[in-house]
Amino acid sequence: MKLKLSINQQFYNTHIDGDESLLDVLRNLGFKSVKKGCDTGACGVCSILINGEPTLSCQFLAARAEGKKITTVEGLGAKADKIVKAIINEGADQCGYCGPSLVLTIYAMKKELKDPTVDKIKHFLAGNLCRCSGYEGQLRGIKKYMGVK
């Protein structure tokens, strides 16, 4: 099946199998920041933005993505750098496997939450798992980025 995808404001034409996940298609197109983790939608490392909303690409059929705006961490550019810097400044840089999906989710959260609190941040990020840390460093950086005391 032919598919035309809008990824990071560029168009890509590709061929897919009807049951192929968007995760696999993105990785085949070279977007290696989109990680493969559990393949069940439980870990969040495959998260991307579809029309600005965090989405588990392992659970999203590629065929459904045509006509939608897909954003990977590469598509955020300097906006991602600000988020990464806030987290690194709190000593929370780890292996980086969950980093791209976490950055995308934080970016979406900043746009969505008008009055962020620690509890709202934790709720929004509940699906992003990090196996390296206890999340405290990341949370400190996220709070500073979000302007939460």
Same domain, 99 and 69: no
Same domain, 60 and 106: no
Domain with 62 in it: 2-74
Mean pLDDT lowest among 15-19, 35-39, 115-119, 131-135? 131-135
Number of structural domains in the chain: 2
Same domain, 88 and 141: yes
Same domain, 65 and 94: no
Q: What secondary structure, in 3-state letters, does the chain show? A: CEEEEEECCEEEEEECCCCCEHHHHHHHCCCCCCCCCCCCCCCCCCEEEECCEEEEHHHCEHHHHCCCEEECHHHHCHHHHHHHHHHHCCCCCCCCCCHHHHHHHHHHHHHHCCCCCHHHHHHHCCCCCCCCCCCHHHHHHHHHHHCCC
- Looking at residue 86, which CATH number applies to its domain? 1.10.150.120
* Average pLDDT score, the chain: 94
Query: Model confidence over 3-46: pLDDT tens digits?
Result: 999 999 999 999 999 999 999 999 999 999 999 999 999 999 99
Same domain, 82 and 120: yes
Same domain, 80 and 141: yes
